Structure 1
Amino acid sequence: MARRRTARLAPRLVPLLCLAMALPMSAPVPARAGDPPADALAADVLAVDRPGGVSTIPNWQLQSAAADPSPGEEVSRPGYRAPGWLRVSARSTVMAGLVENGRYPDLNYSTNLRDAVDPADFRVPWWYRRDFLAWPRSGRHTFLRLNGGVISRGEIWLNGERIAGSEQVAGAYPAQEIDVTSRLRRGRNALAIKAMPGDPNHDLTVSFLDWSPSPPDNNTGLWRDVQLGTTGSVSLVDSRVASNLALPGMERADLTVTAEVRNNTDRPLRTVVSGRIDSIRLRQEVELRPRETRAVDFAPDAFPQLVVRHPRVWWPAQLGDQPLYRLDLSARVDGDLSDERATTFGIRDVRAPLTPQGYRQFEINGKPLLIRGAGWASDLFLRTQPGRLADQLRYVRDTGLNTLRMEGKQEDHELLELADRMGVMLLPGWECCTKWEKYGTWTDADHVVAGASAKAEARRLREHPSVIAFLIGSDTAPPARVERTYLEAFRSVGWRAPVIPSAKLLSSPELGSSGMKMDGPYWWVPPNYWYNDRLGGAFGFASEVGPGPTIPELDALRRYLSPAEIEDLWRNPDKRHYHLAQKEVFGTLRLFARAMNLRYGPPSDRDDFLRKAQLMNYEANRAQLEAFGRDFSDPVRPATGVIYWMLNNAWPTLYWHLWDHNLSPAGSYFGAKKALRPLHVQYSYDDRSVVLVNTGPEEARGLTVRSTVFTVDGAVVADGTAADKAVGSGSSVRTLTTPPPPRGTHLLRLLLLDAEGREVDRNVYWLSDRADELDYANSTWWHTPITNGADYTGLRGMPEARITTSTRTEHGTDGTLRTTVTVRNPAESGPAAFFLRANLRRGPDGEQVLPVRWSDNYVTLWPGETAELRAEYRADDLAGARPHVEVTGWNTARVG
């Protein structure tokens, strides 16, 4: 991640900011001739004067061009009076700015997003403007930098002059750097950016497809930081580190450092480029012609110190640590610092060959790896939310997912840096279904924007070890000219990770087959669907599949649905729901409700509907991820990867997520978390086998598997044991087969014990003698219907069980708390306490504490069994209340 040392300016700025990046804030700063006056306004941005310094422009003023029709010559004039303009953050789309200023009621709630916002407000351009102070010095060059495009197009004005037009500032992704040295005034300056209305059908921009309603502004505005940077006569335009890791032993890595340097003057210059990586020192003198840009390479054959012995190797979280290195580069002219930049990188090897069957198989550091990931959704208004990003990536780590697919919204540097540190792999790429894949409508100008987009994103993503590939197509593969444009752009900046032509099983002229499939489903299917060798079943690499509707619990629903809308979920499932997709096939719960009625019986009331929904979400999500885990090592039809569709939501919806928009985990989350345990025992819906799956870094030996079948009344029907079992890293092994099912509904408990008899894993299934019958003949791209459902109606008659609980809370580090609830079924005999849900609240009957990471949930305990469930969360999220745990269950009274 090549980034200059950046200062994000606080609202209260010291006047001598031009020195602040060179001296500690606590050190006295001597006054110099030409420094800004001591009475400079604290809210003003000061152009950074120190070579290599960069400041992010904060606190823009925002206004509609319809509300203020003044021309750019006036809006960009220093001191322009702007009554009624809004103040917005450093980067902000128009809608994000309006929400930030409280212009609307809660747009997450009910139909407010549709009813409280007038789309006509966004059919006109919007202005961003900012006054700032600059004190140019001789020999310094100041650059205006856009780290991504202006959505969808923009004009840039400085001090009354247009310095870039919409033909240059086009598309969401192309980066811009404009030398504004000659246009700066001493003292007050003004910058204005005019953002043109976004239209994903006509511009290479950002869209949310069928993930949610479209943002009313189509994300018009500044979605990435705008910065001012200063260098001397030579600039470091780019820097990168390519690592060649010796496999299989990983005992050495050969590093190649590239610095792209530019002469900003009209005279030839000699510059000294110096670098440092840990104890490695680099130095090279370079002659530059006037205005020349040149790549300066430091290769191991000329710089043997770049051969690193026993390197610290980056791994995904499930397989190892995430060490990072830092490259510091500087350019000096006549002994004086001209520019500097820092690049953080990781040493790892990533490859993605095709298996003999034609499936895409990722290998990290020489180790074949099953990709079990999910589709990432950015915030609907592209708001900057580093804390929320961190919370969601902690959930990713907690579930055991290893990859995020990012379709067309690669976020900004915050998510990339978190993924690097937390060991979460990323699969970025362009999005489907908009201008990006309407290749027949592209003009020559679109090809230019596409190439600039690819170059900018490749440069931005390139050094992040978490990024393991780039998909240049999603639902289609690009034609020859487009593919060539992308690949030339990637090669020009030293991209080394795999490039994949499509997320669908398609081929492109140069890259060949994608090795991925996109055959659905996107809507509800039963657990046994995933164990079939058709469509989205567990074979090959499924780039986006999932069982669709994901109904949150009541606490979460009340945050964004009205009481009437909640009632409609179960009373009127055929009704179009605004918080379902706007696409017609995903607009109702009709198919979900039909499956519930067939399998569990019609819901008797709201609460019965919601608890059955959690059962359906849990079983479907667990089965999808378990099926791919079992068949990863299948020699005939290996399952090489699966991307659950989706991880999270851009806006609160009732489908496609593992946790709801308020970060509340429920049945989907815990079903996935159960399936993704690194050493796991699981049941196969196709052949009744009990399988050990190991996605951890080491082989596991001396394991014992116990399988017990119970009636819903608690009687033991069958018991089996398989002892002294071993399973290698990244593989699975069948251990035993359960007997034919007894009549009606029954429960299956699987236990995994280590060599000392300690419980390593526990897994409970509710099963039936009647299988879900799939109607493949009537499958669509989004759904495979069932003609008959498994019989789980026996769960309705489970006898009541009683549980006891006790809790304790301990203080962790960094303001975190850990609350442990011990749940026990104290009976000597009788039924299990089924599907027990622990909730952490702010005091009795208070709101849920969110986000929270539970060690397990929705557990089932037979008589005499005990479970400890641990919740980790921030103390501040208690809002001053005491932590309170309540436990509810399918056949138990609420406790707590």
Structure 2
Amino acid sequence: MAPIMCSRQSLSANWSFKQGSLDSTPAYLPANNAPTEIHRDLLKNGKISDPFQDLNELSVRWIAEESWTYRTTFSSPEGHGKPDVRTELVFEGLDTFASGYLNGQKILESDNMFLAHRIDVSSLLHKDSASQNVLEIVFDSARKRGLELVERHPEHQFIVHQTEVSRGPVRKAQYQWGWDWGPILLTCGPWKPVYLETYTSRIEDVWVEYQLNGDLKTATGKISAKIEGPKGRVEFEFKKAGADDVVLSGLEGKRTNYQGVYVADFEVDVDLWWPRGYGLQNLYSVSANLIAEDGAVVHRSSKPVGFRTVKLVQEKDAFGQSFYFRVNNTDIFAGGSCWIPADNFLSRITPESYRDWMKLAAEGNQIMVRIWGGGIYESDEFYHACDEFGLLVWQDFMFACASYPTYPAYLKSVEEEARQNVRRLRNHPSIIIWAGNNEDYQIAERYGLEYRFIEDKDPKSWLKTNFPARYLYEYLLPKIVQEEIKGVPYHPSSPFGSGISTVLKVDPTVGDIHQWNVWHGEMKPYQMLPQMGGRFVSEFGMEAYPHLETIEGSITEEEDRYPGSMAMDFRNKAIGHERRLVSYVAENFQIKYDLPSFTHLTQVMQADTIYWAYKCWRRQWGTPGNRKCGGVLVWQLNDCWPTMSWAVVDYYSVPKPAYYMIKRAMEPVAIGVARRFHNWTMRPADDLWKRDTSHIDMRQVWEDVQFDVWISSARVDPLDGEVSIKFISIRTGKEIQESLKQAVTVEPNGTTDVIRDLKVELPQTQDANTPFETAKADPFVIHVSLSIDGREVATDSSWPDPIKYLKFPDRGVTVEPATDGKSITVSATKPVKAFVFSERQGVKLGDNGFDLMPGQSKTVVVERGGANEFKWRYIGM
């Protein structure tokens, strides 16, 4: 009999669910189409209130204590029951402790949310298409099963941060136990697609291993395909994405000694895939055709691939050991953000929303996204979007803030999880590093767990220590990455000091760091961030409120819409958040505690923090051989629910002003100005009394001014331009002294220092007969601009900190919407700090959260929404 084409039958419809196990009495209720999750289905049936509103999260915690059963019915697929035809039931992901039954027969036992399963059900399906097959899946409580595993394995010291101990042994998205930015919503259900595949033979996987020649124009390597079922002939082809021409076709695969694997050698001229801003994102598709003896193509499988080289450069230098990425022989400053799952209910994230998120990051001039280890290995659509937009991906394995176990069943599950996901993602050019975990070595350091980096190099001995997870991060996971991917570096953890130090303490001279002594830790002033960097800053951040529409949508009672209300505090899961947030706002701005004003102040404070860090750490990118800082990733890009957090874009994809600050700091060519920060709040304490005093002249912040000016460039060629520096009175809007102009040649792919430690000589405001106490300083803004070929390409401003000492009367602000509604022009007669339009869903602005200088106007493009629809605020309004 001739083989049949491999076909797929979706099992997305006809799902129902009930509380309890198979034999429980509750009636089944209609569920959403799969993929779905229990909270979504209870919401669909009106059984719970929306956990994203008010304090409703508390009312749904009981769901995590119960078992839940899902059920669907379906007809047997066409072709089933014929000789040599196989039908497999495929679960791409089940969350988490799942027992599957088909027509009353148990077919599956799963305990790992990150695993896909294929089960041969050929003998269990009904032979005739008229009879309905019944698929049932029982999901046990992950919390209860986790607690049972903790008790069952007393040989392990389970230490977890942020949450209770039950998450430690459970292979489930860790953030669902709650984090300091997210709720406790322990879901369950078929969270990824379920379908049947019927075939005689099929292609299980297609992948490419390659090397680029010296000029990076030719790729040589191997295309491989793994075949299930009777073997036929395999032919490969390359096609450039978006083009009609086939680059290579009819490339016949040769059967190898490995079971079912066919390989073909190739050599082809290629166009490179580049990170955004450095070149085009050229992509190809590689296809495998499985051809039967009669010449019929029984299965075709295609995967995207991009050609690029990547190196993690870790070389000894004047600062310690470098840590930055080199792509296609070009050094890349990796400015970007950390990514958490975009929803607590993962099944409602659409391919379109993934693409919109990555497009938003790219439009914000971000070049890297770090997928944090407490979430999930993201959907294919996420990585397709990163490939398309040229975003580099730092991919953590899914371990975060815990000391994880290594008993045999756990190790086996983790190995299968890692291999499946590395294989699924290995063709994506955007993924340029895999990291073992998030902050697990900091757990080891904090609790004094055994870690002898130099003395003990035996992986088996690590399993016998009280930090056995070292076996995962320094043996098992790097082994898998090395075996499954060619040319992608592995890093044991984020953060990790590359093993140079004999202790685990984060070292700013080596590896990557998480800098949390702003906000957390010592709560240092954010103006000190330029001196708090490292070789690569993979986490840092500052909290802020989202825009008012988001707050009002999640807090439904008007009486609760004020800073510090129970409903507001409940949404913010960070310990001490209100004290920290108010402290930072009060240190820097005149407090206004009504909701619109306080929202604006938190956003401006966050934006200032982020901008200080990005522009000053990007300055430390330096020049070749002198790369002090290789990248900056803010914690975090997004939220998983509507809340106040460190996110620079809220749950509804509405950007905060900090998003635009990153966009400005990461322009291909950016100019920066910073004055010396006067920090009397952090002066060394008296050795005897251990206290600080403030017996100083605070007017120093206005009168003792030294500043730097520099230019950061990602361009690969030098540029000639002119820098203009103005000193503008905040009180009058007039220049307090003659502006400076300086010709400059901008270094390619690096930093050009224009001015260092220049002291501003202020005009005299008093004579010898004027009493000192009546003298009034005239605080000013330093405004710098860079022009190339007579066109202004970049600007920056430095204000005297703290802003709260300044007065802002009569700014003379004018806001003029264009008659076509597609732009808004804003101007002022005096310097304006932090002009912010209050954004909302359904609108899109080209810029926001900017300063205004006299004599200049700012035109903001309105890409969605009407120009007449906006409200705005600025400091002092």
TM-score for both structures, normalised by structure 1: 0.78
Shift of 1:837: 2.9
Residue pair 2:256, 2:262 contacting (<8 A) in 1 also: no
**Map of 2:194 onto structure 1:** 226
SS at 1:672 equivalent:
helix
Residue pair 2:89, 2:119 contacting (<8 A) in 1 also: yes
Within-5 A mapping of 1:316-715:
316-334=275-293, 335-356=295-316, 357-378=320-341, 379-382=343-346, 383-408=348-373, 409-433=376-400, 437-439=402-404, 441-476=405-440, 478-480=469-471, 483-507=474-498, 515-521=511-517, 523=519, 525-532=524-531, 537-547=532-542, 549-561=543-555, 562-569=557-564, 577-581=569-573, 583-585=574-576, 588-603=577-592, 605-633=594-622, 638-686=628-676, 688-715=707-734
Within-5 A mapping of 1:94-133:
94-115=38-59, 117-120=60-63, 122-133=65-76
Residue pair 1:426, 1:469 contacting (<8 A) in 2 also: yes
**Map of 1:759 onto structure 2:** 792
C-alpha offsets along residues 666-707 of structure 1, whole Å, 9 cap, x if unaligned? Answer: 322222222222211111344621111112454332343434
In structure 1, list runs of 5 or more residues that go unmatched. Answer: 1-32, 35-48, 72-81, 300-305, 769-789, 811-818, 841-847
C-alpha offsets along residues 220-244 of structure 1, whole Å, 9 cap, x if unaligned? Answer: 2222222222322x33221101231
SS at 1:92 equivalent:
coil
Within-5 A mapping of 1:235-246:
235-246=202-213
Residue pair 2:322, 2:511 contacting (<8 A) in 1 also: yes
SS at 1:716 equivalent:
coil
C-alpha offsets along residues 94-120 of structure 1, whole Å, 9 cap, x if unaligned? Answer: 2233345554333322212223x2424
Instruction: Check 1:170–1:359 CA distance in 2 against 1; reply closer, same or farther (3 A cut).
Output: farther
Amino acid at match of 1:545: F
**Map of 2:823 onto structure 1:** 820
**Map of 1:11 onto structure 2:** none
RMSD: 3.2
**Map of 1:750 onto structure 2:** 784
**Map of 2:460 onto structure 1:** none
**Residues 1:161 and 2:105 are matched in the alignment:** yes
**Map of 1:866 onto structure 2:** 857
Residue pair 1:55, 1:229 contacting (<8 A) in 2 also: yes
Amino acid at match of 2:75: F
Rounded Cα–Cα distance in structure 1 between residues aligned with 2:483 and 2:98: 26
**Map of 1:806 onto structure 2:** 817
Residue pair 2:727, 2:783 contacting (<8 A) in 1 also: yes
Shift of 1:833: 4.4
**Residues 1:279 and 2:247 are matched in the alignment:** yes
C-alpha offsets along residues 193-250 of structure 1, whole Å, 9 cap, x if unaligned? Answer: 222322423312112152434443x232222222222322x33221101231234x32
Instruction: Check 1:287–1:399 CA distance in 2 against 1; reply closer, same or farther (3 A cut).
Output: closer
Rounded Cα–Cα distance in structure 1 between residues aligned with 2:838 and 2:761: 33
C-alpha offsets along residues 517-546 of structure 1, whole Å, 9 cap, x if unaligned? Answer: 2342462653422211xxxx2331122111
Rounded Cα–Cα distance in structure 2 between residues aligned with 1:99 and 1:727: 57
Q: Percent of pairs identical after alignment?
A: 17
**Residues 1:190 and 2:134 are matched in the alignment:** yes
Shift of 1:735: 1.2
Amino acid at match of 1:296: Y
SS at 2:663 equivalent:
helix
C-alpha offsets along residues 392-445 of structure 1, whole Å, 9 cap, x if unaligned? Answer: 2222012111111112322211211111111112111124446xx423x33200
Residue pair 1:705, 1:751 contacting (<8 A) in 2 also: yes
Shift of 1:352: 0.9
Shift of 1:63: 1.7
Instruction: Check 1:824–1:480 CA distance in 2 against 1; reply closer, same or farther (3 A cut).
Output: closer
Residue pair 1:712, 1:747 contacting (<8 A) in 2 also: no
**Residues 1:58 and 2:12 are matched in the alignment:** yes
Instruction: Check 1:132–1:749 CA distance in 2 against 1; reply closer, same or farther (3 A cut).
Output: farther
Amino acid at match of 1:317: R
Instruction: Check 1:522–1:540 CA distance in 2 against 1; reply closer, same or farther (3 A cut).
Output: same
**Residues 1:794 and 2:806 are matched in the alignment:** yes
**Residues 1:251 and 2:217 are matched in the alignment:** yes
Rounded Cα–Cα distance in structure 2 between residues aligned with 1:518 and 1:804: 40
Instruction: Check 1:888–1:87 CA distance in 2 against 1; reply closer, same or farther (3 A cut).
Output: closer
Rounded Cα–Cα distance in structure 2 between residues aligned with 1:703 and 1:88: 61
Instruction: Check 1:525–1:651 CA distance in 2 against 1; reply closer, same or farther (3 A cut).
Output: farther
Rounded Cα–Cα distance in structure 2 between residues aligned with 1:279 and 1:636: 41
**Map of 1:212 onto structure 2:** 181
Rounded Cα–Cα distance in structure 2 between residues aligned with 1:246 and 1:565: 64
Instruction: Check 1:395–1:676 CA distance in 2 against 1; reply closer, same or farther (3 A cut).
Output: same
Within-5 A mapping of 1:869-880:
869-873=860-864
SS at 2:52 equivalent:
coil
Shift of 1:128: 4.1
Rounded Cα–Cα distance in structure 2 between residues aligned with 1:725 and 1:884: 41
Rounded Cα–Cα distance in structure 2 between residues aligned with 1:287 and 1:607: 67
Shift of 1:456: 0.8
Rounded Cα–Cα distance in structure 1 between residues aligned with 2:255 and 2:806: 82
Amino acid at match of 1:805: E
Rounded Cα–Cα distance in structure 1 between residues aligned with 2:28 and 2:486: 46
Rounded Cα–Cα distance in structure 2 between residues aligned with 1:484 and 1:226: 33
Residue pair 1:749, 1:762 contacting (<8 A) in 2 also: yes
Rounded Cα–Cα distance in structure 2 between residues aligned with 1:761 and 1:94: 50
Instruction: Check 1:506–1:473 CA distance in 2 against 1; reply closer, same or farther (3 A cut).
Output: farther
Shift of 1:730: 2.3
Amino acid at match of 2:403: K
In structure 2, list runs of 5 or more residues that go unmatched. Answer: 144-166, 240-245, 442-468, 505-509, 677-705, 763-776
TM-score for both structures, normalised by structure 2: 0.79
Instruction: Check 1:70–1:107 CA distance in 2 against 1; reply closer, same or farther (3 A cut).
Output: closer
SS at 2:812 equivalent:
coil
Shift of 1:134: 1.8
SS at 1:592 equivalent:
helix
Amino acid at match of 2:847: D
Residue pair 2:392, 2:432 contacting (<8 A) in 1 also: yes
Residue pair 1:134, 1:189 contacting (<8 A) in 2 also: no
Instruction: Check 1:241–1:703 CA distance in 2 against 1; reply closer, same or farther (3 A cut).
Output: farther
- Which stretch shows the higher mean deviation, 457-466 or 481-490? 481-490
Instruction: Check 1:629–1:260 CA distance in 2 against 1; reply closer, same or farther (3 A cut).
Output: same
SS at 1:552 equivalent:
coil
Shift of 1:308: 1.9
Residue pair 2:237, 2:247 contacting (<8 A) in 1 also: no
Rounded Cα–Cα distance in structure 2 between residues aligned with 1:601 and 1:205: 44
